[in-house]
Amino acid sequence: MIYVDNAATTKMSKEVLDSMMPYLTESYGNASSIYSFGQQNRAAIENARETVANLIGAKPSEIFFTGCGSEADNWAIFGAARKNIKKGKHLITSVIEHHAVLHCFQQLEKEGFTVTYIPVDSEGLVNVEDVKNAITPETTLISIMMANNEIGTIQPIKEIAQIAKENNIVFHTDAVQAVGHIPVNVEDLGVNLLSVSAHKFEGPKGVGFLYVKTGTWLSQFMYGGAQERNKRAGTENVAGVVGMATALKIATENLDANMDKCYKLRERFIDGVLSNIKHCRLNGSRTKRLPGNANISFEFIEGESLLLSLDLAGIAASSGSACTSGSLDPSHVLLAIGLPHAIAHGSLRASFSHGNTFEEVDKIVEELIKIVQRLRDMSPLYEDYLKGKK
Amino acid sequence: MYSEKVMDHFSNPRNVGELENANAVGEVGNAKCGDIMKIYMFIEDDIIKDIKFKTFGCGAAVATSSMATELVKGKTINEALELTNKAVVEALDGLPPVKMHCSVLAEEAIRSCLADYYRRQGIDPTPIVGCSCNCEECHAHDHE
Ligand SMILES: Cc1ncc(COP(=O)(O)O)c(C=O)c1O
Ligand code: FES
């Protein structure tokens, strides 16, 4: 199988698994217990905390482990909105956020908050001026994702964080697609809250963390035991946080080399597709983009058929088509950058990892040429197009 | 997620293409919803002598088009009008629940094509074929 869906999830490395194994087997003590059998796990957790903190430029006391990236997003948004409710009930986000963010804001609207959804340009970029202009005296939270999961666009987070700071507003960024893939330093970015998920950078699934800058007002997330400094109850996932720390350490140590490799893979893929297949377009920015992300729309064909055909050829990728999501609308991100529905339905996302090869890229392009032609030959839209041209 | 039959009809669709001598054409669905089915028929002596389809849509949409055309090929108009989406789904060994609407489209496409046949004969198709649009989200577009 050729796996190019690394934005969905990644393969855990042997090194990561090895680091986790003791905590999945012999070292099963509860980290909250007083005996040394539990305390050695407490030490492992605090080590992991220190490791990830150092890797993103934070203090260990600013790292709160969570059950996933979605949880970190939920906590940041509900936590900041509710904690600062006396100051105001206006929130700002963008139209291209992941559902883990968007659906939180939609829920808050039902609870009486007002939300401004900042639009994006045709490349998926948020305009910093738009954010500035949306701010009211009532605004308490701005949440803009660092890198988009579908089209890979990287936002001007530092600039937006600066504006939030000047206006004394909490700033959150969903960095789930960014951390481990591009340089992320919370000090440099100037953010208050930042969400991370381990399985996106070759760590285990079901673990993540929220960075909370000292002094940021945020309410408790999970009620119960005193774990995570009384803010997020629940017996710790020791193996998970240890695996996440190992994965982030490896990803950071190899960051430059991985970015370079992913960039080359993706450029070869984009060039290969655009130069061999007619009537397709690259979605997102060619430059302000995650190194491993390619998102291409093929006119006249539908994405699920494309994915099924690729799967039959042993290739795993993803699409923003409505047919793959079970809803009637194609991806909100593709619609937000102005794609007509029909073209958004025909999108393909290939997300590369450093483990992919150039041979794989060439093979995918080769298969795509055949598949796209086959599906177009079946498509009434393509027939209309050809007849209209005659 | 799909049965072997669905995958077979998706990878080797029967009756795919255009029909040069078609005397009935029906198209339903729209690009906005992500699915369009177009059916061509050549009808003689009330019998569907030949049939072809083109589909823009998911795997289920392609497979149901393929199966529906197989099921009505060589049949009389009346037999074809009795084709239900349920019969198409059964012939495909089932579809996931979220994909049932794609099979409705196949049934509609056949009806819309037969309606076009009657219209070309100067006969009002509504009493015979009924309203072919029972999909709430996507309006059926009869081919002109
Ligand atoms: C941008 C973004 N945010 C949040 C999430 C959710 O992360 P998790 O799967 O760990 O809940 C994802 C992954 O699907 C993502 O891509
Ligand atoms: S055509 Fe869209 S779900 Fe089947």
- Return d(Cα A334, Cα A342) in angstroms, integer: 11
Mean per-residue pLDDT of chain B: 88
φ/ψ region of A297 (left if φ > 0, alpha if ψ in -120 to 50, else beta) reads beta
* Domain boundaries of chain B, sorted by first residue: 4-131
Residue B132: pLDDT over 60: no
Residue B113: pLDDT over 80: yes
- Return d(Cα B107, Cα B140) in angstroms, integer: 11
Tokens for B32, please give them. 């906005």
- Return d(Cα A345, Cα A141) in angstroms, integer: 33
Our CA-based measurement puts residue B47 at a distance from the nearest CA of chain A, in whole angstroms, of: 25
Residues 6 or more apart whose Cβ sits within 8 Å of residue A355 = A11
Distance A312 CA to ligand 2 centre (A): 19
Average pLDDT over residues B2-10: 96
Ligand 2 proximity of A233 Cβ (cutoff 6 Å): no
Residue A328: pLDDT over 90: no
- A253-274 residue pLDDT tens: 999 999 999 999 999 999 999 9
Tokens for A236, please give them. 């710790």
Distance A327 CA to ligand 2 centre (A): 9
Can you give the pLDDT at residue B133? Answer: 47
Q: Which residue, among B11, B54, B9, B139, has the nearest Cα to A385 in the 3D structure?
A: B54
Ligand nearest to the CA of A148: 1
Average pLDDT over residues A228-245: 96
Residue A329: pLDDT over 90: no
Can you give the pLDDT at residue B31? Answer: 74
Helix (H, G, I), strand (E, B) or coil at A300: coil
Can you give the pLDDT at residue B142? Answer: 32
Q: Domains along chain A? A: 14-253 (3.40.640.10), 255-389 (3.90.1150.10)
Mean per-residue pLDDT of chain A: 96
Find residue B26's DSSP bridge partners: B39
Q: Is A304 on the interface with B (CB under 8 A)?
A: yes
Average pLDDT over residues A321-337: 82
Q: Whose CA is nearest to atom 3 of ligand 2?
A: A323
User: Cα(first)–Cα(last) distance of chain B, in Å?
Assistant: 37
Ligand 2 proximity of B35 Cβ (cutoff 6 Å): yes
Average pLDDT over residues A108-113: 98
- Return d(Cα A5, Cα B54) in angstroms, integer: 30
- A176-225 residue pLDDT tens: 999 999 999 999 999 999 999 999 999 999 999 999 999 999 999 999 99
Q: Give me the residue from A322, A326, A383 closest to B54, CB to CB.
A: A383
Pairing of strands B35-44, B24-30: antiparallel
Is the Cβ pair B58, A378 closer than 8 Å? Answer: no
Can you give the pLDDT at residue B64? Answer: 95
Q: Is A326 on the interface with B (CB under 8 A)?
A: yes
Q: Which of B56, B103, B105 to mutate to test the interface with A (most CBs of A within 10 A)?
A: B56
Which value, to the nearest 10 degrees, does the dihedral of the CA atoms of residues A318, A6, A311, B1 take?
-70
A66-70, A83-87, A231-235, B124-128: segment of lowest average pLDDT: B124-128
CATH match for B4-131 among 3.40.50.800, 3.40.50.2300, 3.40.50.10490, 3.90.1010.10: 3.90.1010.10
Asked if B6 contacts B76 with a C-beta cutoff of 8 angstroms, the reply is no
- Residue in A304, A321, A379, A381 to alter for ligand 2 test, most ligand atoms within 8 A of Cβ: A304
Nearest CA in chain B to A300: B56
Contact residues, A window 368-387, toward B, CB-based 8 Å cutoff: 377-381, 383
Can you give the pLDDT at residue A390? Answer: 63
To the nearest 10 degrees (0 to 180), the angle between helices A303-312 and B4-11 is 100
DSSP characters over A309-369: HHHHTTEE-B---HHHHTSSS--HHHHHTT--HHHHHTEEEEE--TT--HHHHHHHHHHHH
Average pLDDT over residues B19-44: 91
- B32-50 residue pLDDT tens: 777 899 999 999 999 999 9
Can you give the pLDDT at residue B88? Answer: 95
Q: pLDDT category, B131, cuts 50, 70, 90?
A: low
Our CA-based measurement puts residue A307 at a distance from the nearest CA of chain B, in whole angstroms, of: 9
Exposed (0-12), middle (13-18) or buried (19+): which is A15, by Cβ within 10 Å? middle
Residue A371: pLDDT over 90: yes
Our CA-based measurement puts residue A326 at a distance from the nearest CA of chain B, in whole angstroms, of: 6
Measure the CA angle with vertex A301, ends A297 and B88; round to 5°.
145
Give the ligand 1 atom nearest the CA of A148. 1
- A274-326 residue pLDDT tens: 999 999 999 999 999 999 999 999 999 999 999 999 999 999 999 987 777 66
φ/ψ region of A234 (left if φ > 0, alpha if ψ in -120 to 50, else beta) reads left
Question: What residue ranges in chain A does DSSP mark as E strands?
Answer: 2-3, 63-66, 90-94, 114-118, 139-143, 170-174, 193-197, 208-212, 280-282, 293-298, 315-316, 347-351
The catalytic residue positions of B are 33, 102
Asked if B68 contacts B29 with a C-beta cutoff of 8 angstroms, the reply is no
Q: Which of A308, A311, A319, A329 to mutate to test the interface with B (most CBs of B within 10 A)?
A: A308
Tokens for A63, please give them. 């790292």
Is the Cβ pair A322, B10 closer than 8 Å? Answer: no
Nearest CA in chain B to A308: B59
Q: Which residue has the higher pLDDT, A258 or B139?
A: A258
Distance B7 CA to ligand 2 centre (A): 15
Distance A75 CA to ligand 1 centre (A): 13
Is the Cβ pair A380, B55 closer than 8 Å? Answer: yes
- Could you report the predicted ipTM of this complex, rounded to two decimals? 0.88
Ligand 2 proximity of B7 Cβ (cutoff 6 Å): no
